[in-house]
Amino acid sequence: MKRRTLILLTLAATLFAAQPPAALADYPDRPITLVVPWPTGGGTDTMGRILAKGLSRVLGTPVIVDNKGGANGTIGSRHVSEAPANGYTLLMGSSGPLTVSSAVRPKDVPYDPLKDFTPVMLVAKIPLVLVTHPSVPAKTLQDLVDIAKKDPKTLTMASVGVGSSNHLTGEMFQSYADIKMLHVPYKGAGPALTDLLGGQVDVYFDQIATSAPHIRSGKLRALAVTSMERSSLLPEVPTIHESGYAGFDTSSYYAIMLPPRAPDHVVRKLNAALIETVRLEETTDSFARMGFEADESTPEELREFLAKDLAMWRKVAQEAGIEMEE
């Protein structure tokens, strides 16, 4: 009798352990916080608010945006990496804090992007557009390359700072085209774009949504976009890939991440909810206005994407000899 009781108790314990705790089985049963590791008003904040609105509708529970800016996005990202892995704290991840900063200045990033988060879904990619001031006598990408080869370092290339994503993209393109432009780092996108519009610098790899109005007004000239496919926001602008530099493909991206060791059933439920969210008409309309290219990845695909992106930027930074004190 005792032996039978012991067997039944053991079996019951095994079955109980195999089931998620009740609180998690009913996930979500309270509001979710989506941490945006930047101040209000930027691209990551815009993406976060678009997703929070859609997720709230899909999950039937409030998703609250919490802006925790500072240190190039690493303060808010670290907060999520150290949060409880219960599915109620999400990170609005982006290329800068996750892979670009980790590739260029790993000692300044207080987390490992591949180990200290649980990937959920790659939500969108945002290609950059190579724009020039109209005074630059280049109508095509090849024209620009020809100018740079004829007079190395006479063309100036703006960026939002040393080691930024548009700086690295510019270095990557120079490597592909075997040219050299003079890098002019600025402290932010606003000053860089202002000087480009004023003709103080020649070339800039910019966010498509930011430059599109200036391109349409003729204040800037678009030569190419950095993704493999043309942008829906600027369908008339060719890609660098199709302009003679096969394989060139880089975009900024947005991804939803959880703290490390998040329960698998929570990850899967959030992934399914995010897929439904990006397919909502209001989400697709918002993405189109901002130039965001929607994506739908599995958690495993996102993990692989992050590893490849990190390795790519490490290689670019090393080959370009980028020094953060530059």
**One-character DSSP codes across 237-293:** SPBTTTTT-TT---EEEEEEEE-TT--HHHHHHHHHHHHHHHTSHHHHHHHHHHT-E
Is residue 1 one of the residues assigned to a domain?
no
The pLDDT of residue 323: 66
Do both 131 and 111 map to the same domain? no
Do both 37 and 120 map to the same domain? yes
* CA separation for the pair 159, 169 (Å, rounded): 10
Do both 38 and 77 map to the same domain? yes
137 close to 218: Cβ distance less than 8 angstroms: no
Is residue 232 one of the residues assigned to a domain?
no
Is residue 18 one of the residues assigned to a domain?
no
Among the candidates 187, 206, 225, a domain finishes at 225
Among the candidates 178, 210, 225, a domain finishes at 225
Task: Name the token pair of 178.
Answer: 């075997």
Q: What are phi and psi of 118, to 5 degrees?
A: -105, 115
* CA separation for the pair 158, 198 (Å, rounded): 12
Give the total number of structural domains in the chain.
2
* CA separation for the pair 262, 84 (Å, rounded): 8
* CA separation for the pair 228, 234 (Å, rounded): 14
The pLDDT of residue 153: 83
Q: Which residues pair with 32 in a beta bridge?
A: 63
Is residue 104 one of the residues assigned to a domain?
yes
Is residue 26 one of the residues assigned to a domain?
no
Which CA distances in Å does 43 have to 16, 49, 316? Answer: 44, 10, 24
Is residue 162 one of the residues assigned to a domain?
yes
The pLDDT of residue 23: 47
Task: Name the token pair of 54.
Answer: 């859609």
Do both 218 and 157 map to the same domain? yes
Do both 141 and 121 map to the same domain? no
The pLDDT of residue 26: 86
Do both 213 and 272 map to the same domain? no
Do both 113 and 134 map to the same domain? no
CATH number at residue 77: 3.40.190.150
Is residue 272 one of the residues assigned to a domain?
yes
Strand stretches in the chain, DSSP E: 32-36, 63-67, 89-94, 118-132, 156-159, 182-185, 203-207, 221-225, 251-258, 293-294
Do both 68 and 98 map to the same domain? yes
CATH number at residue 208: 3.40.190.10
325 close to 154: Cβ distance less than 8 angstroms: no
The pLDDT of residue 5: 46
Is residue 170 one of the residues assigned to a domain?
yes
Do both 135 and 220 map to the same domain? yes
The pLDDT of residue 41: 84
| Domain containing residue 295 | 31-125+252-320
Task: Name the token pair of 32.
Answer: 């979710």
Q: What is the pLDDT along the chain (326 residues), one digit of tens a residue?
A: 445 544 444 444 444 444 455 444 689 999 999 999 988 888 899 999 999 999 999 999 999 999 999 888 999 999 999 999 999 999 999 999 999 999 999 999 999 999 999 999 999 999 999 999 999 999 999 999 999 999 888 999 999 888 889 999 999 999 999 999 999 999 888 899 999 999 999 999 998 988 999 999 999 999 999 999 999 899 999 999 999 999 999 999 999 999 999 999 999 999 999 999 999 999 999 998 888 999 999 999 999 999 999 999 999 999 998 865 44
Between helix 281-290 and helix 43-59 the angle, nearest 10°, is 170
**Number of helices (H), then strands (E), in the chain:** 13, 10
Do both 207 and 269 map to the same domain? no
Among the candidates 184, 209, 225, a domain finishes at 225
Query: Whole-model pTM?
Result: 0.85
Do both 265 and 184 map to the same domain? no
The pLDDT of residue 286: 94
Do both 221 and 73 map to the same domain? no
The pLDDT of residue 291: 86
75 close to 69: Cβ distance less than 8 angstroms: yes
Cis peptide before 28 (omega within 30 of 0): yes
Using the Cα atoms of residue 19, residue 23, residue 28 and residue 34 in order, give the sign of their dihedral. Answer: negative
